[in-house]
Chains A and B, each alone.
Chain A
Amino acid sequence: MTEVAERNITLEGLHDRFGQLDAMVPIHKIRSEAFNHLNNIGLPKVKNEEYKYTNVTKALEKNFNFAPAASPSKIEQTTIDEITFDGLDAYRLVFINGHFSPDLSDNINVKGVSVMNVAKAIENIDKDFLKHFGTVSSKNDDAFFALNTSLTEDGAYINIADNVVLDKPLALCFIIDSSDKSTYTTSRNLIVTGVNSQVDILEIFATQGSEGSFSNTATEIVVGENAHVNFYKIQNNKENAYQVDTTQVSQSRSSVFSTYTFTLNGAIIRNNLNVAIAGEGCESHMYGLYVVDDKTHIDNHTVADHISPNSFSNELYKGILEDNAKAVFNGKVFVRKEAQKTNAFQSNKNILLSDTAVINTKPQLEIWADDVKCTHGCTTGQLDDEALFYLRSRGLDKDHARSFLLYAFAIEVIEQVKLDPLKEYLKHIISERLHKDF
């Protein structure tokens, strides 16, 4: 009975919040469609195959409502400097509790680069924004994504013109401040990159305050013809911060898209990464690293959808789990009938450092084309005793040898990062984590 009551409260809150949105703006049509879809399917329960191991709906219904976040936050520039780490020379856009903070953001004035916050794009009825909003995700019927769409109010809208090579990375910082009360927030971003353009984008998530938070974040990325896009996601939230994140990508021909997802802390984190390799001759790289302990639950669902011929995708996700941490990996690779000469590789490797850590990993390959090269695999294990002995026999003590091996395990993903300050930051965080007592 209580469960039913809670669910009603959740839905009621959602209706209230949705009802407060401006129904006059053109985007509201898309929000309404999503809202209806969500009401039809409901939020996913564990019976839903896609959310079998991750009951994030329960956490949402139990602990959160959809009331807007409280008063202006006290987040200051120093916090931003901290989370964007040393040496990163980037254009920064800051969002606090889902809302754009112009005071904390950089003024970006680069020829061919249009940057504005989504609230402004909605208000201005920006034609280019409306042209692209929701298009790459038109087939995404996930309930949390629909929830994100129905409550879309703000986020980053970035449009990079043809042939523009951005001189510095763009860092989007999403900070949740739950000092006053538990907070549910929505962020929705749209990134459009033109023909031959080149850009590095970071999404950095951080949480402040002792109350719980639930953030529903989504980013749509339109990768233009022959464009090169590196997309980094760093999730280092607090123990009581829940996050459902969707990254929806569509690649045009000859483009190269690389995504890197680093998850270091949080309560439950669910990442949905969907890459439509739509054009011919594309290259896609999907890297992920999760190093989690305590009760953190990290779920990565990824899709590499090969739609056209001669494309290449490579996916490598690695995880180190300690204490009662849980991880889920579900990697789907689709190779459509037309997508001949596809090369697709996928691998998920995990190390469990305790008897109580759990991993559920499921690679899923569906191939309709007949001339393709695909491999997938997953390994889960403890640290290799032989390797430990080898290192110890050279004078390294046991703890040191362990951290050495774990670091070596993690570094395979970190080495792929092309931004040196980020690479150093991750190396630092990982080695700090691993040098603690086991």
Chain B
Amino acid sequence: MLTIKNLHASIEDKSILKGVNLVVKPGEVHAIMGPNGSGKSTLASVLAGREDYVVTAGSINFQGKDLLEMAPEERAREGVFLAFQYPIEIPGVSTTNFMKTALNKIREYRGLEPLDAVSFLKIMKEKMKLVEIDQSLLSRSLNEGFSGGEKKRNEIFQMAMLEPTLSILDETDSGLDIDALKVVANGVNKLKSKENSTIVVTHYQRLLDYIVPDFVHVLYNGRIVKSGTKELALELESKGYDWIKEEAEATV
């Protein structure tokens, strides 16, 4: 589904990613962990097409297409979804209206008829249950005045609505208490299928108790320096990142 080869990216001439390689197959859940500043969020942003980042080398192939050639909206229509670490507040636009526009854009791209109000509402009601989000929240301005937990839940709600094939969760767990974390993780798990894949970017192992990854990768200094299974995450939890740093530096 996704093949990242030797990806280099920089922002304002500062090199952040220095040769990332990653293969994600349909149905897999990959966790990307790493200390602060290792490039985790950059990787997520580059996948979604944030224009502040410049890809200086490497390639990203998504379902046979060159992802780097696509504008952010094309990636979304092709099935890439980024759950933002810091969802943006947009006064004056309700989540409902926004989702209706977005979903119909994606449907149009896929050659489907736009949804009428009734079918849209029906889908929305189903997805609302998944993330235990309230209708009143969705009628309010997008993310405006939402609590941290509400914002993250709203991200997962949008993910549920748009049914992406590749979801990237950028530190979706940060700032959440355990109850909110469970709700969010539960939503993500219910959306999992054999066809779609998830990349979970996180600093903490805790989330991975609830969203169980098939693979865990450690990103350090712009490169994946270690890959393993969920046990690796536990090891990181107990031992911290220092041994990874030492290992990585020893091999340089």
B is bound to A: yes
Residue in B91, B105, B141 whose beta carbon sits within 8 Å of that of A395 in the complex = B105
Residue in A392, A398, A410 whose beta carbon sits within 8 Å of that of B76 in the complex = A392
Is B88's CB under 8 angstroms from A386's CB? yes
Q: Which residues of B contact A393 (CB under 8 A)?
A: 48-49, 72-73, 75-76, 81-82, 84
Alpha-carbon distance between A391 and B76 when the two chains are bound, in angstroms: 10
Residues of B79-112 whose CB lies within 8 A of A: 81-82, 84, 87-88, 90-93, 98-99, 101-103, 105-106, 109
Is A395's CB under 8 angstroms from B88's CB? no
- How far does the Cβ of A287 sit from chain B's closest Cβ, in whole Å? 14
Is A395's CB under 8 angstroms from B73's CB? yes
Known: A387-B88, A404-B101. A395 touches B49 (CB 8 A): no
Known: A389-B51, A404-B101. A394 touches B92 (CB 8 A): no
CB of B125 within 8 Å of the partner chain? no
CB of A70 within 8 Å of the partner chain? no
**Interface-centre pick from A395, A397, A400, A401 (highest chain B CB count, 10 A):** A395
Q: How many A-B residue pairs have CB under 8 A?
A: 77
Contact mask for chain A residues 225-249; partner B; CB cutoff 8 A; 1 contact, 0 none: 0000000000000000000000000
Is A395's CB under 8 angstroms from B106's CB? yes
Is B72's CB under 8 angstroms from A389's CB? yes
Contact mask for chain A residues 383-420; partner B; CB cutoff 8 A; 1 contact, 0 none: 01111011111111110110011011111100100000
CB of B123 within 8 Å of the partner chain? no
Is A412's CB under 8 angstroms from B92's CB? yes
Contact mask for chain A residues 61-94; partner B; CB cutoff 8 A; 1 contact, 0 none: 0000000000000000000000000000000000
Is B73's CB under 8 angstroms from A398's CB? yes
Residue in A385, A396, A398 whose beta carbon sits within 8 Å of that of B102 in the complex = A396
- B-side interface residues, number (CB < 8 Å): 31
CB of B158 within 8 Å of the partner chain? yes
- A-side interface residues, number (CB < 8 Å): 25
Does more than half of chain A's interface fall in helix, strand or loop, or is it mixed?
helix
Residue in B76, B77, B81, B90 whose beta carbon sits within 8 Å of that of A387 in the complex = B90
Contact mask for chain B residues 39-73; partner A; CB cutoff 8 A; 1 contact, 0 none: 00000000011111000000000000000000111
Known: A389-B50, A389-B51, A390-B84. A397 touches B92 (CB 8 A): no
CB of B162 within 8 Å of the partner chain? yes
Q: Which residues of B contact A394 (CB under 8 A)?
A: 76, 98-99, 102, 158, 162
Is B90's CB under 8 angstroms from A392's CB? no
- How far does the Cβ of B171 sit from chain A's closest Cβ, in whole Å? 16
Residue in A390, A395, A398, A411 whose beta carbon sits within 8 Å of that of B92 in the complex = A411
Is B105's CB under 8 angstroms from A396's CB? yes
In the complex formed, the residue of A with least CB distance to B92 is A408
Is A396's CB under 8 angstroms from B73's CB? yes
- How far does the Cβ of A229 sit from chain B's closest Cβ, in whole Å? 27
Is B102's CB under 8 angstroms from A412's CB? no
In the complex formed, the residue of B with least CB distance to A408 is B92
Alpha-carbon distance between A397 and B108 when the two chains are bound, in angstroms: 12
Alpha-carbon distance between A386 and B72 when the two chains are bound, in angstroms: 12
Is A392's CB under 8 angstroms from B72's CB? yes
Q: Which residues of A contact B75 (CB under 8 A)?
A: 393
A residues with a Cβ closer than 8 A to B are 384-387, 389-398, 400-401, 404-405, 407-412, 415
Could you jot down 10 A-B contacts, CB within 8 Å? A386-B88, A389-B48, A390-B88, A390-B90, A396-B101, A398-B71, A400-B101, A404-B93, A404-B101, A409-B91
